[in-house]
Amino acid sequence: MTPLVVGNWKMNLTAGEAIRLAGAIAREAPADTEIVLCPPAVWLVPVASQLAGSAVALGGQDCHQVGQGAHTGDIAARQLADAGCSHVILGHSERRANHGETDAQVAAKVSAAHDAGMVAIVCVGETADQRAGGDALPTVETQLRGSLPAGCDTGNTVVAYEPVWAIGTGAAASLDDIAAMHSHAGSVVSAHSDRLAGCRILYGGSVKPENSREILALDGVNGALVGGASLVAEDFLAIARAV
């Protein structure tokens, strides 16, 4: 299974910064890792130009669940695909928390992404309170069951486990907790659908060059979803090379 490293640039970077970062990553990307860059939507097209001819793919950070219409400020899956995206991040905890996205909405968006021919990167993860209350595994299990619609398979769907409390804090989950959650998530998705047996599961949450090698070496970790460290070409490339 080829490992996958995804850079989620979130709501960062000017046009010039985005173009320079994409160009630097495209020039130096290791050939044996699949890499996807997810810039802010407004920079998808100029970033696509930088990635043209390289092995680095383009992804969106969200899409709407309906195909087109009166949805001011939203972006349809087909529009992302038309801009050059092969992937889209869905159900990120920042979307769930800041925009009230439910598992059902995420599932509808996943279907829209598939209809547009894209791979959905479906994010799940527990809060600090849920973990402290002993509810990490059931929380993620419920999110997975609710967010993965019929039609998901290992080709069109990737799961990303991102514990909310580890995002942007500098404190990644422990190796034991990551391994336990990835093993659980693997069982949940294969029980959910035969076609998800062996689905790639990424870890996200304070992945840095310093901790990427040991996280990515864990059984059941098939790559990383990287936020802050994806904004610095050398750091992101170091993580991609650590796979």
Residue 51 CB, nearest distance to ligand 13P (Å)?
19
Residue 226 CB, nearest distance to ligand 13P (Å)?
5
Residue 214 annotated as catalytic = no
Does residue 19 contact residue 46 with C-beta atoms inside 8 Å?
Answer: yes
Say how many CA atoms lie within 13 Å of 90 toward its Cβ: 37
Of 9 and 72, CB closest to ligand 13P = 9
Of 81 and 165, CB closest to ligand 13P = 165
How far is 31 from 17, CA to CA, in rounded Å? 24
In whole angstroms, how large is the CA radius of gyration of the chain?
A: 16
Of 168 and 198, CB closest to ligand 13P = 168
Residue 54 CB, nearest distance to ligand 13P (Å)?
22
Tell me which DSSP letter residue 215 carries. H
Residue 234 annotated as catalytic = no
Q: What would the two tokens of residue 24 be? A: 């630097």
Which run of H or of E encompasses 180?
A: helix 175-192
Q: What would the two tokens of residue 171 be? A: 């404190």
**Which of the following is catalytic: 34, 101, 141, 162?**
162
How far is 164 from 113, CA to CA, in rounded Å? 24
Residue 64 CB, nearest distance to ligand 13P (Å)?
19
Residue in the shown chain whose Cβ atom is closest to ligand 13P = 227
Q: Catalog residues that contact ligand 13P under the rule CB under 6 A.
A: 8, 92, 162, 167-168, 204-207, 225-229
Does residue 220 contact residue 186 with C-beta atoms inside 8 Å?
Answer: yes
Which run of H or of E encompasses 234?
A: helix 233-242
Of 78 and 147, CB closest to ligand 13P = 147
Does residue 97 contact residue 144 with C-beta atoms inside 8 Å?
Answer: no
**Which of the following is catalytic: 92, 114, 182, 184?**
92
Of 186 and 204, CB closest to ligand 13P = 204
Residue 103 CB, nearest distance to ligand 13P (Å)?
18
**Active-site positions?**
92, 162
